[in-house]
Structure 1
Amino acid sequence: MTITVSIALYHNDPLEVQEAVCSCLSSSLVKRIYLIDNSANNNFRSFAEDERIEYHHYPENIGFGAAHNQAIQLCENSDYHVIVNPDIAFCGDVVEQLTSFMDQHPDVGLAMPKVLYKDRRLQRLCKLLPTPFNLFGRRFASTSRWAARLNEQYELAFFDYDQLADIPCLSGCFMFVRNTVLQELGGFDPRFFLYLEDVDLVRRIGQVSRTVFYPFASITHGYQKESYHNRKVLRLHMKSAIQYFNKWGWFFDRERKRINKDTLKKLMRKM
């Protein structure tokens, strides 16, 4: 069994990066960790002291998805590849549990564990496929009743995070992916520089296999909504949203409608 990991870096908190790297190294199943650094300097090179870590520096900042693609191209022979944010931490046998689950369910292409804030509060990262109303309404009209109602459904407000479930939109902060599927799809769409690249990839994985929320293992995630505080990042977020809907469809997306309807029906049935 060969498991590889990629972590894309861009002037991150060194302590958080160290914790993420150590978390991944704690599993003997992880054979290689690729640190793909988009920072202007190469200060994170010092993190590659362990023989299982490989460091690559791209100071021109090629983007989040493109950075991970550099690693994905290098690990075509691994069984599973884990896409990890630099503000992730975990202990115990998270990798082992997810490996065992994926081994037993060959129809699953992607699994995401339960994600918690550092104070152990739950992060509700299981969602439906987004509509333009979801993404733009929750950002610019979050206080309106119609946006709130749409957001409740989009974020699956009723969902019990203690049950295993097929979810069409999972967070990219920790993606445990069957590598044959990842290689078949070619990794991330590099047109998305930052934001929505994970939504796009999970949707493409969902076209060829199951995408599953796995509640029996948990990780912690810093999770800062930077686009709510930084105008430059907000513009990147908006650009990615436009690219996403240009690709998949704005208001007439039959596949999205079918997937969301089927997801709601299955989740309601479990309640």
Structure 2
Amino acid sequence: MYENVVSASIVLYNNDVAELSKIIESIFKININLTLYLIDNSPKDDFRFLEKEGVFYIHNPSNPGFGAAHNIAIHKAMDLGSNYHFVINPDVYFEQDVVSPMIEFMKKDSLIGMMMPQILNLDGTIQNLPKLLPSPWSILLRKLKSPQQAYHKFIDQYELRSVPQSKIYNTPILSGCFTLLNINAIKEIGMYDDRFFMYFEDWDLSRRMHQKYKTIYFPEVSVYHGYESGANKSSRLFKIFINSAVSYFNKWGWFFDSERKTINKEALSQFK
């Protein structure tokens, strides 16, 4: 058991019950006293039956977005006195305890603001989610995947694919599908920017955190993520993706972003 208070949040929207039950089971089969917040953005409160001891259900049908919903839980976690908070997607699960090793690693260094474990596809292959800070060209090239020679050269560096898979390192972009937050750091740099309804809110938070704290990729433990890019399959989600991309680059700079170049150069220097 931890002397520190640990919490987690999952944002729901018309999810598959079996999938959701799997991640809740993963969380509560480990030997940690953890408080879980389920923030349900669905129109109906069909998941209220999941509320039990240690699980708080909050129905939020106004659906303010992914980051804004997690902010509700993070506020609750702060009121609870939480030291460490996990942001978890409903399509994630794990078979071994990933929570304890991540907390133990973060506890050793107060300058760690965020952490992400290794993320696996359901077939066990690795999702390349640690990244450099994006430019508009990064987003375009990643979507087009052509010309192929330029794409492969770009993606290898942008997604840090040449870095040894077992290496722990400080990367400027972490995925929001399974993230450990240092609450003290969050109090300093702020929570998710709720201008991002969905997409880019995790990249924005990573960038702000990386300015003052370490944002660590921690492949010593792993989780499974049933990743499926909705933006590639739904015109509505693609529009949200584009709007969020525009918001991100309006905030941080489009083509003239000297900080991006400096941060990416520093990140790459770890591997020389």
- Asked if these proteins are the same fold (TM beyond 0.5), I'd say yes
Instruction: Report the equivalent of 1:69.
Output: 71
Further displaced range: 31-40 or 18-27: 18-27
Instruction: Report the equivalent of 2:185.
Output: 181
Give the deviation of 1:24 after TM superposition. Answer: 1.5
Residue correspondence of structure 1 range 242-261 to structure 2 within 5 A: 242-261=246-265
Q: Distance in 1 between matches of 2:54 and 2:253?
A: 42
Instruction: Report the equivalent of 2:158.
Output: 154
Q: TM-score, normalising length from structure 2?
A: 0.95
Stretches of structure 2 lacking an aligned partner (at least 5 in a row): none
Residue correspondence of structure 1 range 23-102 to structure 2 within 5 A: 23-48=26-51, 50-76=52-78, 77-102=81-106
3-state SS, counterpart of residue 198 of structure 2: coil
Residue correspondence of structure 1 range 165-244 to structure 2 within 5 A: 165-244=169-248
Whether 1:127 and 2:142 are equivalent positions in the alignment is no
3-state SS, counterpart of residue 75 of structure 1: helix
Instruction: Report the equivalent of 1:136.
Output: 140
Q: Distance in 2 between matches of 1:41 and 1:183?
A: 32
Further displaced range: 176-185 or 74-83: 176-185
Give the deviation of 1:30 after TM superposition. Answer: 4.0
Aligned length: 266
Give the deviation of 1:142 after TM superposition. Answer: 1.4
C-alpha contact 1:129 1:168 (8 A) present in aligned 2:
yes
Offset from partner CA, 1:48-71 (integer Å, 9 cap, x none): 1x3000000111211000000000
Q: Which amino acid aligns with 2:170?
A: D
Q: TM-score, normalising length from structure 1?
A: 0.95
3-state SS, counterpart of residue 73 of structure 1: helix
Q: Which amino acid aligns with 1:251?
A: F
Instruction: Report the equivalent of 1:265.
Output: 269
Stretches of structure 1 lacking an aligned partner (at least 5 in a row): none
Q: Which amino acid aligns with 1:255?
A: E
Whether 1:13 and 2:16 are equivalent positions in the alignment is yes
C-alpha contact 1:3 1:80 (8 A) present in aligned 2:
yes
Give the deviation of 1:151 after TM superposition. Answer: 2.4
C-alpha contact 1:185 1:205 (8 A) present in aligned 2:
yes
Q: Distance in 2 between matches of 1:30 and 1:200?
A: 30
Q: Which amino acid aligns with 2:109?
A: H
